[in-house]
Structure 1
Amino acid sequence: MLSQSSPVSYFHIKQKFIGQILIDAGLVAQPQLDLALANQHMPIYNHLRLGEIFTLRGWVSQKTLDFFVYRWPKLIVEVRKNGRKIKLGQCLYEADLISREQALIVLKRRKQTNENLYGLMLSYGYLREKTLYYFIGNLYPQTQAKRKLRTLKKFRKSHIIKDVAIRSDQKETFCLNY
């Protein structure tokens, strides 16, 4: 996560390796990165880039990979340097981390219950906490991010959330209300 006081440039953001970005975002684990890096030295994979191995193995979608390679660095600069406000839900959709259907389900539930939107995404198992925290921490100024994270923590206290992998076809609810 970038601090508010550090100078931000597209070049600086672009220098972070895709494997580390995906780990930080909770989309792949260190053993997956290690395996993909080892695969790059095998004749069958040596012509592939790291991200291509991730997509080939089904760990991330091509759309997610493209988002983090091409769109994410520019978004960070827009937010940090230019103060542009980004809608988190739209960003998650662009990154192929939630589907339109999932967003509609969560929005409908929120309208009925007035519960925290992002907490509902977690409780339905659409996102991992680490992924959501990564986006919040990078797309919002520190004070706003802290406020959003506090709200999420309150939501967690009233719900049991099972941290599940992101699945666009997932239909089950992983939330038990107290």
Structure 2
Amino acid sequence: MSGKATHSSKVSSPRLFLPKRLGVVLREADLVTKTEIKTALEYQKIYPNMRLGEILAIQGWIKPETVEFFAEEWQQLIEQTYRKPIGHYLQQAALLEAEQIKRVLEEQKHTGYKFGSTAILQGYLKPKTLDFFLKYLFPEELNQSHLRSKKSLAQSRRRQRQLLAQILERKHNPWKK
């Protein structure tokens, strides 16, 4: 999936997945830790009227929009055969913002990397989270190299070094964009 807003696809055959509990899904997507889930379940014993997702969001471990996406939309999405670009779903899940998607698409033009790979290199997405979305929404792309490029290997490595330097600079100076 290139991630371009105009491109959509259709998954060849519908794949039915049994619904999973929210905590299992969030762990599999590497959006929360095992410790965070355990702690939230302990809180749930004290506050039985609160849902797991609410507790995770109140603790600041995950965005409320992300909880809502996985609790209310995820199961339907994975059962659909029509697919929008992966960036659409990452934005719906509140994992990427519109400005980040714009930056990823711009960088993608220079490197030729796939959308998800570029988002990982820019520090916006974890590899395990990308693999989770690919597994359920774009299984045909799961075993392909994330860093497949149309450019030469030398150009790709040079750009990787530049991106890494930018990411490190952002971490040391978070106010600089």
TM-score tier (shorter)? 0.7 to 0.9
Q: How much does 1:28 deviate? A: 0.3
1:29 paired with 2:37, answer: no
Tell me the equivalent position of 2:142.
145
Equivalent position SS for 1:47: coil
Contact 1:86 1:139 in 2 (8 A): no
Q: How much does 1:153 deviate? A: 7.4
What is the total number of aligned residue pairs between the two structures? 147
Cα 1:6–1:104 shift into 2, 3 Å: closer
Name the aligned partner's letter for residue 119 of structure 2: M
Equivalent position SS for 1:125: coil
Contact 1:36 1:50 in 2 (8 A): yes
Q: How much does 1:106 deviate? A: 1.2
Percent identity over the alignment is 30
Cα 1:140–1:37 shift into 2, 3 Å: same
Structure 2 residue runs without a partner (length 5+): 1-11, 170-177
Name the aligned partner's letter for residue 52 of structure 1: E
Q: How much does 1:140 deviate? A: 1.5
Counterpart of 1:92 (choices 90, 93, 96) is: 90
Name the aligned partner's letter for residue 36 of structure 1: A
CA distance in 1, matches of 2:121, 2:168: 6
Q: Provide runs of 4+ in structure 1 moved above 6 Å.
A: 4-7
Q: How much does 1:50 deviate? A: 0.6
Tell me the equivalent position of 1:127.
125
- Counterparts of residues 15-164 of structure 1 (less than 5 Å): 16-42=20-46, 45-78=47-80, 83-141=81-139, 143-147=140-144, 150-152=145-147, 158=157, 159=160
Q: How much does 1:132 deviate? A: 0.6
Q: How much does 1:98 deviate? A: 0.2
Contact 1:110 1:116 in 2 (8 A): yes
Counterpart of 1:173 (choices 162, 167, 177) is: 167
CA distance in 1, matches of 2:100, 2:56: 24
Q: How much does 1:117 deviate? A: 2.3
Equivalent position SS for 1:115: coil
Cα 1:114–1:144 shift into 2, 3 Å: closer
Name the aligned partner's letter for residue 20 of structure 1: V
Name the aligned partner's letter for residue 101 of structure 2: A
Q: Deviations over 1:87-135 (max 9, x none)?
A: 2110001000000010111111222333332212111111111101100
CA distance in 1, matches of 2:82, 2:114: 23
Equivalent position SS for 2:77: helix
RMSD (Å) for aligned C-alpha atoms: 2.7
